[in-house]
Structure 1
Amino acid sequence: MIHLYMKQDYVSIKNRIIVTDGTGKDVYLIVGKWGRIGDGLSLYAMDGNLLVEVKQTILSVFPKFDLFVAGNKVATITKYQGINGPYFKVSHLKWVIKGDFDNNHYWIKRGQETIMEMEKAYLPYGDFYSLAINQQKNVPVCSCIAVIVDHLTLTRMPVKTKRLKEQSIQFI
């Protein structure tokens, strides 16, 4: 398993995102934006090589993103609404993304094989997203998917504030 970390603050502001390994060494840089058709993200190795590009192709409640490696389209990520909440499909790779998106814990699977698991990690120097990826070849694509899924399932309201709002709604 390859273990990587992304600082939550960087992911939430859609600025540059630095992906680090378990020793704290910077391994990837993700830059870009979304919100319009054609917008997207780019993942670079720290030596400056472009590894993955992501382009938004449909702007809606259920958007689509195309993933490109070395200029070749390798997959399309699509969000769906299921009975138990949202889920995502990564076509061409035959991956499905499910989990507890409210608590930032989800996994990518192909059949019974777990490709990646992501969860929020509370560390002394900040809140991070912890990624556990099964194979090195999946690391760049999974890193981009983690940013997209986080953005599309965004619940940035702190738990205490969320509970207060739910309680106030019940009293009205």
Structure 2
Amino acid sequence: MVLLYMKQEYVSKQEKILVKNEQGKDMYLISGKWGRVGDSISLYAMDGTLLVEFKQTVLSLFPKFDIYSQNKKVGSIAKHRTLKMVYFKVTPLNWVVTGDFYNHHYFVHCENHLIMELDKAYTPFGDYYKLSVPEAQHAPVCLCIALIVDNLTLTRLPKPSPKKVNRALQSF
């Protein structure tokens, strides 16, 4: 089981993100932008080796990213919606991302096999996303999936607008 941590503040701002293990050691560096067709997210090992890259290919209500490993396309992730829920599919890996996206608690499964679990972790040093990945080889792809899911689900709810007071009712 691999436990990895990403600082939520950096994920939200689309800044370079250092991913740490449970001992606080830097494990990965993520950089890039997303939100436009052609944008990409790149995940590097700490020695500078490019491990995984996600490139945005469709910009819509249901965006799509292609997944590359060693310059070879290995799959795609796309957002889907049913009448009751939003979910993500990673094809052809047959991974499905489901859960409570708004409260940052979701899972990646392949049939009944757990690929990743993401939870929010509160520490004295700030809020982090905690990724639990049972198989270490899935960690690079799972980290990028977490960034995309965070960005494509409405995790930052709009602030309520101030209520307008009807002037006619104020005189009573």
- The residue number in structure 1 matching 2:119 is 119
Taking the aligned partners of 1:14 and 1:32, their CA distance within structure 2 comes to: 7
Letter of the structure 2 residue corresponding to residue 100 of structure 1: D
- The residue number in structure 2 matching 1:61 is 61
Question: How much has 1:51 moved relative to structure 2?
Answer: 0.3
Matched, 1:41 2:36: no
- The residue number in structure 2 matching 1:31 is 31
Taking the aligned partners of 1:27 and 1:81, their CA distance within structure 2 comes to: 34
Q: Size of the alignment, in residue pairs?
A: 164
SS of the residue aligned with 1:129?
A: strand
Taking the aligned partners of 2:60 and 2:41, their CA distance within structure 1 comes to: 18
Question: How much has 1:92 moved relative to structure 2?
Answer: 1.0
> Which has a greater percent of helix?
1
Which ranges in structure 1 are unaligned for 5 or more consecutive residues? none
Change (3 A) 1:122 1:73: same
Question: How much has 1:154 moved relative to structure 2?
Answer: 3.3
Letter of the structure 1 residue corresponding to residue 76 of structure 2: T
Change (3 A) 1:89 1:167: farther
Q: Structure 1-normalised TM-score? A: 0.91
Matched, 1:75 2:85: no
1:86-165 matches, within 5 Å, as 86-157=86-157, 165=160
Change (3 A) 1:166 1:2: farther
SS of the residue aligned with 1:62?
A: coil
Question: How much has 1:36 moved relative to structure 2?
Answer: 1.5
Change (3 A) 1:98 1:166: farther
Fraction of identical pairs, as percent: 54
- What are the superposed Cα offsets for residues 15-70 of structure 1, whole Å, 9 maximum, x if unpaired? 10111000011100000001211101000001100000110000001000000000
Letter of the structure 2 residue corresponding to residue 86 of structure 1: V
Q: Structure 2-normalised TM-score? A: 0.91
Which ranges in structure 2 are unaligned for 5 or more consecutive residues? 165-172
Question: How much has 1:3 moved relative to structure 2?
Answer: 0.3
Taking the aligned partners of 1:87 and 1:45, their CA distance within structure 2 comes to: 29
- What are the superposed Cα offsets for residues 70-125 of structure 1, whole Å, 9 maximum, x if unpaired? 01111100100123321000001110000001101000000001100001111111
Greater gyration radius: 2
Taking the aligned partners of 1:118 and 1:75, their CA distance within structure 2 comes to: 21
Taking the aligned partners of 1:168 and 1:130, their CA distance within structure 2 comes to: 37
- The residue number in structure 2 matching 1:17 is 17
